Structure 1
Amino acid sequence: MIKELCAKSILGTLKRPSDWFGVKYIFNIYRGCEHQCIYCDSRSECYGIESFNDLVVKTNSIELLSKALASKRKKGMLGTGSMGDPYTISEKKFGLTRKALELIADFNYPVHVTTKSNLILRDIDILEEINKIYTSVSMTITTTNEELARKVEPYAPFPMDRLKALGVLSEIGICTSITMMPILPFIEDNEENINDIVNKASFYGVKHIVPWLGMSLRDRQRAYYYSKLDELFPGIKQKYEKRFKNMYRCSASNSKKLWSILSEACDKHNISLKMPTYEEKITSTQLSLFDGQPRT
């Protein structure tokens, strides 16, 4: 079900901008997500989304965002994609993310977009315009196995479509990353999966991977996830219950070994495991300018 809502506000400020791609201001046009990934943490009670199967569309979000950006005295990285995918399926109908990007370009802000959809390529012209300042895009890839992906990310575009989109964005100079999270214990935590994600990232020009070798589990999210395990992966729920009990952070099997495999593969392909930020780009640019100055 799709619900339309007039929101009271749209832009939030993060206390620790460097924690997530250097994002300082965050906005979400959609609450809930039509991709319906079985592991999504946004189903947890703390986020206050009563029915994650329903999509809430903030129909006045562009007006609110315009007023918010006009009132800011200090610019910083804008980010979207935390409480719902900005390129959820209904974005094709509403087009609000595109309008938001047009505003961001007009106000000369840098932007980071987290998504699981190749629909982002529709807006490549605006992203390229914003990239005159800075554009960063991260795509979530938890597996390259399309049969498995259809089970755990039932309505999201296939992983290869996302990887190809990253390749297009990388080609035009946009900073691209793979958010390799979660890696589902007993399902995705194997050497073959990790290596294949890294190999395909390298092929498509991705220079950053941000991993979490494991997942989070709590309250409503745990209940939903376990019900899906029973449906899709019989016998796996019992392994979770035995190993993790009521733990929130649930590490992948052999996580130290997998981290070593991941690090070695990334070193081989010159892929960084460090999260890129706008501040790093500024620093790098300043150092390059300094290094180019004549010395006396």
Structure 2
Amino acid sequence: MGYERQIDADGPLSREVAGRGALSNAAGRYEAVAREVAMPDHARTETRDEMIGRVISTNRSPDLGFDRSVNPYRGCEHGCIYCYARPTHAWLGMSPGLDFETKLIARPNAAEALRRELRAKDYVPKMLAIGTNTDPYQPIERDRRIMRGLLEVLRDHAHPVAITTKGAMVERDIDILSEMGPGLCRVGLSVTTLDAELARRLEPRVPSPLRRLRAIERLAEAGVQVRVMISPVIPGLTDHEIEAVLRAAADAGAVAASMIPLRLPLEVAPLFEEWLRAHYPDRARRVLNRVREFHGGKLYDAGFGQRMRGRGVHADLLQTRFARACRETGLAERLPPLRTDLFRVPGSQMSLF
């Protein structure tokens, strides 16, 4: 079947939608028809449920610090324009553009599935990462509480977990996180910029930078280890803020930091370029040229060892600045591994000893 182009539109194909990041909604790469749909003035969030048999996903990527993860949701209402997970919506027959942030899938039985997997006789505990694809504390979690259920299972099994989020809603679960303690859990909280206006455009439904710093403070006060994640660093747009973000996070109580330069895989590249030219036309050429420098002349290089760091003079300088700022603020780049020796299956004979 040939790849056809079809326009189904009575209005503009590209426009800013209130409270959303993407400016368009083109079909994903697996569709036989390259359909483009008119952008509405407003877009409501739609959620459907997906009942699952298994919830733990595995990977063999050598540049990731984990090999298993859990994602309670598909799609993300936060609407970050740079989100590397946007292309996953194409697998579902939906657009990585506006659909990704408005047509969500929830997994209401995720906690039950996780409990079954942890109780399997051949299960071997290793750190579980949550939030590596889409944010577990995006707005719909307030009512769905799927992430809370997952944490309850992990606490009951004394299972190590590392959480990645931009959502201040993580504060709601401080009771569980503090009970698990620094040996079993840590939180990575992403602060991309301290500029509230830029953050609103980049990440339209994410709490403000100051609100995220306050979340770091509250977690730290409760004894939860927090890593500030400057991800992504956008060359020519946010890279000048590295030192300021690290300083603010350290002052709030973070104990570690990490940084990843902007990644633009697959459909993310045209979506980001469209957003950049609309919001910051005077910086677009500089930003895109610098991104290409980071990736050998392309907007993205998916090669292991390069995709998380970039290459070239400016990429090396960014890493040098980051390492120096970590030393100056006392933030660790690496933390000791979480414990697996405490793992138990509640109600089993082994839990009696």
Is residue 158–residue 184 contact of structure 2 (8 Å, CA) maintained in 1? no
Which residue of 17, 29, 40 maps to 2:83? 40
Whether 1:6 aligns to 2:55 is: no
Q: Does 1:170 align with 2:230?
A: no
3-state secondary structure, aligned to 1:55: strand
RMSD of Structure 2 on Structure 1 (CA) = 2.5
Choose the corresponding residue for 2:249, options 184, 201, 209. 201
Aligned to 2:172: 122
8 Å CA contact 1:12–1:26 kept in 2: the answer is yes
Distance change >3 Å, CA 253–CA 35, structure 1 → 2: farther
Shift of 1:125: 0.6
1:246 aligned partner = 298
Task: Letter of the 2:106 partner, please give it.
Answer: V
Identify the range of structure 1 (242-251 vs 216-225) with the bigger mean alpha-carbon deviation.
Answer: 242-251
The aligned residue for residue 269 of structure 1 is 329
Unaligned ranges ≥5, structure 1? 283-296
Report 1:83-162 matches (<5 A): 83-131=133-181, 133-162=183-212
User: After superposition, what is the alpha-carbon deviation per residue over 1:173-222, rounded to whole angstroms, capped at 9, x for unaligned?
Assistant: 222101111111211111xx11211111111121111112x211232111
Q: Normalised by the size of structure 1, how large is the TM-score?
A: 0.84
**Post-superposition shift, 1:252?**
9.6
- Per-residue deviation at 1:13? 3.0
What fraction of aligned residue pairs are identical, expressed as a percent? 28
Structure 1 position 8, deviation (Å): 3.5
Q: SS of the residue aligned with 1:41?
A: coil
User: 1:26 matched to which residue of 2?
Assistant: 69
Q: In the alignment, residue 269 of structure 1 is paired with which amino acid?
A: T
1:184 — aligned with what?
234
User: Which residue matches 1:218?
Assistant: 265
Following the alignment from structure 1 to structure 2, what is the Cα–Cα distance between the partners of residues 132 and 220?
Answer: 38
Query: Secondary structure of 1:48's match?
Result: helix
What is the distance in 2 between the residues matched to 1:16 and 1:218? 16
Determine the C-alpha separation between the residues in 2 that align with 1:151 and 1:251: 27
Q: 1:132 to 1:170 in 2, by over 3 A?
A: closer
C-alpha contact (below 8 Å) 1:185/1:253 kept by paired residues: no
- 1:288 corresponds in structure 2 to none
**CA pair 270-47 structure 1, distance change in 2 beyond 3 A:** farther
CA spacing shift, 1:80–1:215, aligned 2, 3 Å: same
Instruction: Summarize the Cα distance change of 1:47–1:179 in structure 2 as closer, same or farther, 3 Å threshold.
Output: farther
Residue 74 of structure 1, aligned match among 124, 130, 133: 124
The amino acid that maps onto 1:99 is: G
**Alignment check: 8 A CA contact 1:186 1:253 kept:** no
TM-score by length of 2: 0.71
Q: Distance in 2 between matches of 1:196 and 1:257?
A: 16
Q: Select which of 45, 48, 55 maps to 2:104.
A: 55
CA shift in 2, pair 1:95/1:17, >3 Å: farther
Distance change in 2, residues 1:47/1:110 (3 Å): farther
Tell me how far apart the structure 2 counterparts of residues 47 and 182 of structure 1 sit (CA, whole Å): 22
Question: What is residue 231 of structure 1 aligned with on the other side?
Answer: 278
Measure, in 2, the Cα distance between the counterparts of 1:126 and 1:33: 24
**Bigger mean CA offset, 262-271 vs 194-203:** 262-271
Q: Specify whether residues 184 and 17 from structure 1 end up closer, same or farther in structure 2 by C-alpha distance, changes over 3 A only.
A: closer
